[in-house]
Amino acid sequence: MRLLGCAQPWEFRYRLPILIASQPVFAVIVHLLTASRGPWYAPDFEIWVACLATTVAAFGIFIRLWSASILSAGIMGSRRPETSQLVTSGPFGIVRNPLYVGTMLIFTGYSLFFGWLPALLFFLFHAVRYQRMVQYEEYEFQQSTEQFSDYMASVPRFLPRRIPREKLHGPVFTRDALLSNALFLSIPIGMAVSSWIGTLVWLIPFELAGGMTTLLYFVITKPGISAELGTQTDQTALAQ
């Protein structure tokens, strides 16, 4: 890769399988290293930790759905950075990578069920991974979009400097956003049910159902690379 610290193209292409595979791999490693009680996929947890974890994940899916309602599933599922559009509306006017922020919150929430130190290490792993992918995307955008340098200068990558009031007007979740993010949506729902019942095992059927819904949506509709942009005309997107 041209830039030190950038992701390789294959890392971007397979970003979703790597993300999903990180869940069971993380759970097995924590189980082996800590000899935690219960099965590797369903550790014991305190109810207040479960409530915190579910809240963090719920905030993450809100950000993802808000962001995905501005983009199309085709952009989010593309195998290369889609650099033909520059989206600056909604959450993309607050941070440049709201989809990554939402995903990090969802998976950090999941990892909290396994303990504070494992959750921190899991967060750092994905933080490094996303930092690499963002550098790869930004290089591609800078080569194709003149306005991107100004966008980078005014909007931070991950942590907002401020929240412009005009960017907060009524997020509306589209059907495309809900179905293409069914896998991600299933995680906080499964976590909430697991917290209520007292075992994380209930996360598994929810994730399987969400994953199948997303897969079928992409197979049946084959969403193209376009954006749901309303009246906006000067736009760009960083997607996952």
CATH code, 211: 1.20.120
Quickly state the pLDDT bin for 38 (edges 50, 70, 90): confident
- In the predicted structure, residue 231 carries a pLDDT above the cut 60: no
Report yes or no on 232 lying in a domain: no
Mean pLDDT within 43-64: 95
Rounded-to-integer distance, Cα 72 and Cα 189, Å: 23
Report yes or no on 121 lying in a domain: yes
The number of residues making up the chain comes to 240
- The pLDDT assigned to 227 comes to 41
Q: Which long-range contacts (CB under 8 A, 24 or more apart) does 193-196 make?
A: 194/50, 195/47, 195/50, 195/51, 195/53, 195/54
The residues, any chain, with a CB within 8 Å of residue 240's CB and separated by 6 or more, are 15, 16, 76, 99, 100, 103, 133
Report yes or no on 64 lying in a domain: yes
- In the predicted structure, residue 237 carries a pLDDT above the cut 50: no
Determine the structural domain holding residue 121 and report its residue range.
9-221
Quickly state the pLDDT bin for 236 (edges 50, 70, 90): very low
Report yes or no on 116 lying in a domain: yes
Quickly state the pLDDT bin for 163 (edges 50, 70, 90): confident
Report yes or no on 91 lying in a domain: yes
Residue 179's identity, in one-letter code, is L
Report yes or no on 47 lying in a domain: yes
- The pLDDT assigned to 61 comes to 97
Mean pLDDT within 147-167: 81
- The pLDDT assigned to 81 comes to 66
Q: Considering only residues 83 and 134, tell me which one the structure prediction assigns the higher pLDDT.
A: 134
Mean pLDDT within 147-161: 86
Quickly state the pLDDT bin for 58 (edges 50, 70, 90): very high
Report yes or no on 230 lying in a domain: no
Report yes or no on 2 lying in a domain: no
Q: How many domains does the chain have?
A: 1
3-class secondary-structure state, position 189? helix
